[in-house]
Amino acid sequence: STWWGHVDPAPKDPILGVTEAFLADPSPNKVNVGVGAYRDDDGKPVVLNCVREAEARIAGNLNMEYLPMGGSNHMVEETLKLAYGEDSEFIKDKRIAAVQALSGTGACRLFADFQKRYQPESEIYIPVPTWANHHNIWRDANVSQKTYHYYHPESKGLDFSGMMDDIKNAPKGSFFLLHACAHNPTGDKGHFPFFDMAYQGFASGDPEKDAKAIRIFLQDGHLLGISQSFAKNMGLYGQRVGCLSVLCEDDKQAVAVKTRLQQIARPMYSNPPVHGALLVSIILSDPDLKNMWLKEVKVMADRIIGMRTALRENIEKLGSPLSWEHITKQIGMFCYSGLAPEQVDRLTSQFHIYLTRNGRISMAGVTTKNVEYLANAIHEVSK
Ligand code: PLP
């Protein structure tokens, strides 16, 4: 017998598998609307100018020493201001336990491990649908999962009453995973809201506006947790830079929680990478670079908003009798199109258009050059 003879290959990742299939397709017409990474109007990846400028400032000056277990304190301080507000009393009162994390995924995972360790009986309520990796993250942290209603297939919008019922019916003190653009209903049951904020700035074009849900929860007196990522809003995908924060009852508790988060990180990766953290702290602490960043976030968000309008108009122009209002009503990087898995299969096999089978279209992959082609294909498969 061999050591690893019993190991089967893992199933393909539903999101990353789409890109593999796209790359293998030789068609000149092919379109990738599967991947959650921003592209410019030529379909090209983008490095922000503020990032290039920050890189130029550190070139040759950077030593390669380890960061502390909790990462760059400077980066974490600046990152917390984005989520909790520039003048947040919670920051002044040192009530936030926060560590640099391996982007949004790492922040979620660190929190899930922390949850398992210190609330071992708790479950996590995850919206339907959600980013598929949320399920993997809490599964591998051995936290059992429940789901709550979020999307309404008919309206292709929020199922508000379904969500409220699920929140009311959940046992007191449950953990709820919310995407940071979600609503504010977890008050009287004493639930713990954990915000995954992977797209701050991408929804409205303004990071302050996109933090609104969190600010409302803070005003309402909730203790909460936040995962922040600079993958999308600073285009630092492969740098893996983010932050996990937990708002605590007082500064003493925050010290305890922070040291425990560091203790969880130590045997996993010791300390987080230095380069991306340095870029983020330079950009956020320099008023000129921060302004440059805010403008560049807005350009990305506006391009996506423009493509929503263009896609909807192009489908409607073809005389589709169906309603496509949800394309422009939904916000953020994705459009949950409502297309059935079989219709998605036809988009791929007949039109070389690649997306996940749940009908999720990455608006970042839509350009002025492919929007007509995409609209026509969507119209054909939804007739
Ligand atoms: N959360 C959500 C909802 C996402 O869509 C993503 C990325 O697609 C992430 C978290 C994590 O991204 P990253 O780990 O690259 O920051």
Task: Say whether 39 sits in a helix, a strand or coil.
Answer: strand
- The 8-class DSSP code of residue 362 comes to E
Residue count of the chain, please give it: 383
**With contact defined as beta carbons under 8 Å apart, do 340 and 359 qualify?**
yes
The two three-digit tokens of residue 79, written as one number: 């990152």
4 is catalytic: no
Ligand 1 site, residue 103, Cβ cutoff 6 A: yes
CB neighbourhood size of 110 (10 A): 25
Can you give the pLDDT at residue 217? 94
Task: Say whether 152 sits in a helix, a strand or coil.
Answer: strand
Taking the centre of ligand 1 as the mean of its atom positions, its distance from the CA of residue 145, in whole angstroms, is 19
Largest CA distance in the chain: 63
List the single range of 24-28, 144-148, 182-186, 320-324 with lowest mean pLDDT: 182-186
Q: Select which of 113, 116, 131, 293 is catalytic.
A: 131
Nearest CA to ligand 1 atom 6: 198
Whether 188 shows a pLDDT value over 80: the answer reads no
Q: How confident is the model at residue 37 (pLDDT cuts 50, 70, 90)?
A: very high
Q: How confident is the model at residue 17 (pLDDT cuts 50, 70, 90)?
A: confident
Taking the centre of ligand 1 as the mean of its atom positions, its distance from the CA of residue 252, in whole angstroms, is 31
Can you give the pLDDT at residue 364? 93
Whether 359 shows a pLDDT value over 90: the answer reads yes
**With contact defined as beta carbons under 8 Å apart, do 180 and 200 qualify?**
yes
Can you give the pLDDT at residue 36? 85
DSSP assignment of 270-288 equals: SS--SHHHHHHHHHHHSHH
Ligand 1 site, residue 242, Cβ cutoff 6 A: yes
**With contact defined as beta carbons under 8 Å apart, do 213 and 185 qualify?**
no
Whether 184 shows a pLDDT value over 60: the answer reads no
Q: How confident is the model at residue 190 (pLDDT cuts 50, 70, 90)?
A: confident
What is the C-alpha to C-alpha distance for residues 282 and 277, in angstroms, rounded to an integer?
A: 9
ipTM over 0.90: yes
Whether 186 shows a pLDDT value over 70: the answer reads no
Residues contacting residue 162 through CB under 8 Å, at least 6 positions apart? 148, 149, 150, 152
Tell me what the mean pLDDT of segment 212-228 comes to: 95
Ligand 1 site, residue 233, Cβ cutoff 6 A: no
Q: How confident is the model at residue 135 (pLDDT cuts 50, 70, 90)?
A: very high
| pLDDT tens-digit series, residues 198-209 | 999 999 999 999
Residue 145: exposure state from Cβ atoms within 10 A (0-12, 13-18, ≥19): middle
Give the end-to-end CA distance of the chain in Å, rounded to a whole number: 55
| pLDDT tens-digit series, residues 253-288 | 999 999 999 999 999 999 999 999 999 999 999 999
Model's pTM, two decimal places? 0.93
Residues contacting residue 9 through CB under 8 Å, at least 6 positions apart? none
Whether 187 shows a pLDDT value over 90: the answer reads no
Among 290, 359, 367, 297, CA closest to 332: 297
Can you give the pLDDT at residue 189? 74
Whether 183 shows a pLDDT value over 50: the answer reads no
Nearest CA to ligand 1 atom 8: 36
What is the C-alpha to C-alpha distance for residues 88 and 83, in angstroms, rounded to an integer?
A: 9
Can you give the pLDDT at residue 98? 98
Whether 181 shows a pLDDT value over 80: the answer reads no
- The percent of residues in the chain predicted with pLDDT above 70, rounded, is 98
Residues contacting residue 256 through CB under 8 Å, at least 6 positions apart? 97
Task: Say whether 226 sits in a helix, a strand or coil.
Answer: strand
Distances in Å between the alpha carbon of 72 and those of 64, 100, 290? Answer: 13, 7, 18
140 is catalytic: no
| Residue 245 Cα to chain centre, angstroms | 15
Torsion over CA: 331, 238, 290, 68 (sign): positive
